[in-house]
């Protein structure tokens, strides 16, 4: 009985020595030179291939650490709040990417020459001056697009029907306003007295 348990402990010890030499640079639950107890019980049990070498002392396999070898470790460490999922594999918070979460990433990227940068730990697109929006997807029109016009490219408005001009500020009257009348909104003339009517054609009777 005693020799049988001694035999199994020698076998286990040989396995541990193999582990120690395989993972020479890996951090581990205990230092080399431990007292080994083949009857040791570990509660909670050693995870991820760790070996229980003394009561409640796990010898962790390479890439794991913690009391019961429950934590994976990542080298280099996961940056920017990334979590080590398994050895060498980080799960990155949104806004960060790369193997160690060391790269800033903007969801969907930055368009139109925008650059993804970190501002107070949050990824943001830094847009060129003529573009705006979270992805630099919106053009800016410094002149403004009036009367329902939409800015479609830097400085270029797409005007709604009946309007023209760089800022959609010029109304269009399909029939011209006569006698000095002015087109003030689509197909609407403001007439000069004494003229009136849709196109300022009629002369008002003065009493």
Ligand X SMILES: *[C@@H]1O[C@H](CO)[C@@H](O)[C@H](O)[C@H]1NC(C)=O
Instruction: Give the three-class secondary structure for 2.
Output: helix
Taking the CB of residue 194, how many other CB atoms lie within 10 A of it?
Answer: 11
Among 37, 44, 85, 182, binds ligand X (CB under 6 A): 37
Among 13, 14, 45, 55, binds ligand X (CB under 6 A): 55
CA dist 119 → 18, 83, 151 (Å): 48, 21, 28
- Minimal distance, residue 12 CB to ligand X, in Å: 15
Q: Which is nearer to ligand X, 54 or 188 (CB)?
A: 54
Q: Which is nearer to ligand X, 39 or 205 (CB)?
A: 39
Q: Which is nearer to ligand X, 42 or 110 (CB)?
A: 42
Q: Which is nearer to ligand X, 55 or 175 (CB)?
A: 55
- Exposed/middle/buried for residue 120 (C-beta within 10 Å: 0-12, 13-18, 19+): exposed
Q: Which residue is nearest to ligand X (CB)?
A: 55
- Minimal distance, residue 96 CB to ligand X, in Å: 44
Q: Which is nearer to ligand X, 42 or 139 (CB)?
A: 42
- Minimal distance, residue 84 CB to ligand X, in Å: 31
- Minimal distance, residue 11 CB to ligand X, in Å: 20
Q: Which residue has the tokens 């992805």?
A: 135
Beta carbons within 8 Å of 200's beta carbon, 6+ residues apart: 177, 178, 179, 180, 181, 189, 191, 192
Concatenated DSSP letters of 35-72: ---TT---SSPPPTT-EEEETTEEEPPTTEESTTS-EE
115 binds ligand X (CB under 6 A): no
- Minimal distance, residue 46 CB to ligand X, in Å: 14
Residue closest to 50 by CA, chosen among 7, 82, 12: 12
Site residues (vs ligand X, CB under 6 A): 37, 41, 55
């Amino acid at each position: 009985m005693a020799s049988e348990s001694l035999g199994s402990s020698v076998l286990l010890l040989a396995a541990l020595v193999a582990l120690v030499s395989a993972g020479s640079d890996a951090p581990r639950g205990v230092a080399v030179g431990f007292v080994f107890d083949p009857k040791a019980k570990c509660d909670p049990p050693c995870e991820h291939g760790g070996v229980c070498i003394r009561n409640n002392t796990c010898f962790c396999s390479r890439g794991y650490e913690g009391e019961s070898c429950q934590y994976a470790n990542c080298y280099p460490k996961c940056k920017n709040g990334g979590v080590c999922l398994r050895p060498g594999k980080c799960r990155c918070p949104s806004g960060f990417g790369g193997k160690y979460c060391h790269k800033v990433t903007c969801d969907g990227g930055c368009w139109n020459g925008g650059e993804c940068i970190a501002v107070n730990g949050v990824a943001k697109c830094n847009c060129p001056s003529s573009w705006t929006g979270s992805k630099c997807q919106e053009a800016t029109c410094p002149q403004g697009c009036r009367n329902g016009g939409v800015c479609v490219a830097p400085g270029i408005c797409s005007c709604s029907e009946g309007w023209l001009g760089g800022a959609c500020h010029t109304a269009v009257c399909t029939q011209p306003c006569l006698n000095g009348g002015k087109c003030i909104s689509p197909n609407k003339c403001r007439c000069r007295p004494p003229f009136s009517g849709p196109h300022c054609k009629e002369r008002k009777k003065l009493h």
